[in-house]
Amino acid sequence: MKLGAFSISLTVKDLQKSKEFYEKLGFSTIGGSEEMNYLILKNNNAIIGLFQGMFDKNIITFNPGFDESGNTLDSFEDVREIQKNLKKNNIKLDSEADETTSGPAHITLTDPDGNQILIDQHV
């Protein structure tokens, strides 16, 4: 399976303070909106999302259809195909994409240690 661009989505208490911290580590903002309480930052191939007040725990995130620079790929494995493969391998999903639709959708699952995983397709 090709899951798409990898990032970690961090729940933060103070978006501005977290942004300043990660900028000191060499990250720069490539997306998001402070007004909407989230920012996407990048340092080489490392991508992190900073999210204030949106969820309780950090989340491992994959974005089918995007590369590490946020560019849309010409060809990629749709989240619904990923979902079918996971179900075929007896992976329990916490939420599912509607397989009768196309375009943006997401699925969520939890690994054996309780880490949340989001597979979030924007295209």
pTM, full prediction: 0.90
Please give the residue range of the domain that contains residue 111.
5-121
CATH of the domain at 11: 3.10.180.10
Q: How far apart are CA 78 and CA 104, in angstroms?
A: 9
pLDDT of 69: 85
What pLDDT digit, counting tens, does each position of 86-123 carry?
A: 999 999 999 999 999 999 999 999 999 999 999 999 99
How many structural domains compose the chain? 1
Per-residue pLDDT for 26 more than 90? yes
For 23, what's the count of Cα atoms within 13 Å in the CB-facing half-sphere? 10
Query: In this prediction, what percent of the chain has a pLDDT beyond 90?
Result: 94
Per-residue pLDDT for 24 more than 90? yes
Looking at residues 16-38, what average pLDDT do you find?
97
3-class secondary structure, 48: strand
Per-residue confidence band for 84, with pLDDT thresholds at 50, 70 and 90: very high
Tokens in use for 36? 């909407």
- Tell how strand 38-43 and strand 116-121 pair up: unpaired
